[in-house]
Structure 1
């Protein structure tokens, strides 16, 4: 796997490859903006995203070819600044789409959004992986010594790299040697699926107990049926986002369905309800892992079911306006700190499916109206599937 045995040549080759890819992928999305109906181009939110993309494209294509490790530090810092600036992209697109619901063909917007989000994931993955591999390389004292001796103005290159992309999950120096060995940049080569689901479940339980003022440990129980040795080679952040969104929907539906059936009007009485458990079952084959999430949250009305995967529809319009309350969004689970899970944005399910599709996976949802929902997530487990950009033009 690339990144396990880094050399200076490999790192610099990686930097130039990332530079080329970022410019090409941004150029495709700029062209997508230019092909939208004129009315979309006049929307201030869409216009701001277009200008951000154009500025980034200009910065990347004008950056000189990377030839030294110091060039790579400057390149990493440019990319991390760019990533931080683009944290506004999803809220801006959400607000732009909300204002185009009644004037643009929904299928056109859905196609545009899928391409925008797919390429956004691919760009961030390239950037974050390269920055973290660079951090690993520069943390070698021998490499730092060699750089300092050759530099006219010796500096500690470790301190030049931006902190914006460093993740304690990946860069924790107090991890065991075995744990560090299984992390390559952003990729966890042995991600334990049962532990990941358990961590997400605990996080969501706490979030919903705060939102509904429930006594601790009284939110819907998540029952996990998963062999201990089921592992994935994956970017943990991405799989975490998918499962977080799906479990969040199941917990929310279970609580709201229980309130509706019981006829409760006082939220303080919620602690007396006996919520139906949510069952998570994990299956493993030689090449894939399939995760089934089953709830008894009342299912989904047929009219709503048909619009679940859309970004722009009459049903989603009521949620898209909530993007006005969010300044930044990077599609990471830690962004839900301080944000009520009761606030729907309308992008959760389609974005989760884009994440799954990017890695060659899929999400399918089966609803039994009046009873509950079964959601199936199928993901390749060996890490040998190239990024899926089939929706690119």
Structure 2
């Protein structure tokens, strides 16, 4: 109800003098001026409870239209301004330029609706525009990944070395950029699924959100699909042992929360892929009898937690710290021509970083603990109360600018060379002697 009241109040304050759909030629300002204007607005994050209340109770298409025509350009403009903080060498790569053009085109299309009156034709056109934006941006993650790869190759050819500041800034930006993309897609999908063609709707969902999401069922589905891929590649796959514990209602054998099933599936599928690959490669001679993956699903008063435990050999602390770095992957890096023949994002090094963003987007988190030589435990945290599962949305402001300008601080501890580094040097030395 709070979201509905907010939309209605906002719509009363909007003047709509134009009688027809605006065109690019009728812009009173250039696109760059409009981007500057909208980037000064702050996005308005909302909770899962507000999403559901709007969809179930008094939400209507015109209220959604009035809010989204302001909110989506605001989020697009904030990210476009932040992209301008990129180094010129990165902005000039073919892939990054393509992503920039997609955002610019989508922003311009949204601007066509900024001052128009609300009627059925306008809302129908608006919904179709949102569909086109989703299609246009469907390869943003992969294309941006290639843009970063093109930049690193360009730097390598120039024999330039990335500074720690460069690495931190790229990590900082990509976290914010992809989080913003997750949020924009959810807003668009909610509108399109609620008010678009009814053939696209899932009967148990309100848009993309399930008011009674069975966490165990989503986890099982992610496991089954990951197992299928694993069996294709390794001719075997670890089984899963799942235990569900509901602290809130001990008589309920399931865990149900208000959540977006596609987000949860994305995270679980990635974790199962990693766990299966590690397990199969750590036990190469026992493909038909590898240790199972243990899964624990719990629901408390504040958090819903999913623990995924494998016996895939784990990793050292040094390696584990890099698992959330973009472009760090232990799988072979694919070419663009391989995109249709590999698992989603395999080899790009984006699986775990993106999974953590999906978990964090609605107030949760993803954490990993690993035992070198044994296995890895991964924890997915989700908010149990839907009113506390609020969007995490980046905003471009003076603090953001300062973050990109801030130099990397050198360490203020005197630390010895790690034993692992010394061990590696000894191995190299021994190999050269032999």
Q: Contact 2:90/2:151 (CA < 8 Å) preserved in 1?
A: yes
Matches within 5 A, 1:27-38: 27-38=77-88
Q: Contact 2:208/2:260 (CA < 8 Å) preserved in 1?
A: yes
Aligned-pair RMSD on alpha carbons?
Answer: 2.3
Deviates more, 1:238-247 or 1:182-191: 182-191
Matches within 5 A, 1:1-393: 1-6=53-58, 10-63=60-113, 64-65=115-116, 67-101=118-152, 102=155, 104=162, 105-135=166-196, 166=200, 171-172=201-202, 180=203, 182-212=204-234, 214=235, 218-227=236-245, 228-259=253-284, 262=285, 271=287, 273-312=288-327, 315-316=328-329, 321-322=333-334, 324-325=336-337, 339-340=342-343, 343-384=346-387, 385-390=389-394, 393=397
Deviates more, 1:59-68 or 1:374-383: 59-68
Q: Which runs of 5 or more structure 1 residues have no equivalent in the other structure?
A: 140-162, 173-179, 263-269, 328-336
Relative to structure 1, is the Cα distance of residues 341 and 388 closer, same or farther in structure 2, using a 3 angstrom cutoff? Answer: closer
Deviations 1:60-107 (A, max 9, x none): 112243512321111010011111011121111011111233555111
Q: Secondary structure at the match of 2:55?
A: coil
Q: Secondary structure at the match of 2:390?
A: coil
Q: Provide runs of 4+ in structure 1 moved above 6 Å.
A: none
Shift of 1:19: 1.5
Q: Contact 2:179/2:394 (CA < 8 Å) preserved in 1?
A: no
Q: Which runs of 5 or more structure 2 residues have no equivalent in the other structure?
A: 1-52, 246-252, 398-434
Shift of 1:320: 8.8
Relative to structure 1, is the Cα distance of residues 82 and 109 closer, same or farther in structure 2, using a 3 angstrom cutoff? Answer: same
Relative to structure 1, is the Cα distance of residues 93 and 342 closer, same or farther in structure 2, using a 3 angstrom cutoff? Answer: closer
Relative to structure 1, is the Cα distance of residues 290 and 81 closer, same or farther in structure 2, using a 3 angstrom cutoff? Answer: same
Relative to structure 1, is the Cα distance of residues 72 and 342 closer, same or farther in structure 2, using a 3 angstrom cutoff? Answer: closer
TM-score (norm 2): 0.70
Deviations 1:347-388 (A, max 9, x none): 000000111111100011001011000011110123212211
Shift of 1:252: 0.8
Deviations 1:224-279 (A, max 9, x none): 101432112111100110111111111111001111xx4xxxxxxx65x4101100
Q: Contact 1:323/1:345 (CA < 8 Å) preserved in 2?
A: no
Q: Contact 2:142/2:345 (CA < 8 Å) preserved in 1?
A: no
TM-score (norm 1): 0.77
Bigger radius of gyration, 1 or 2? 2
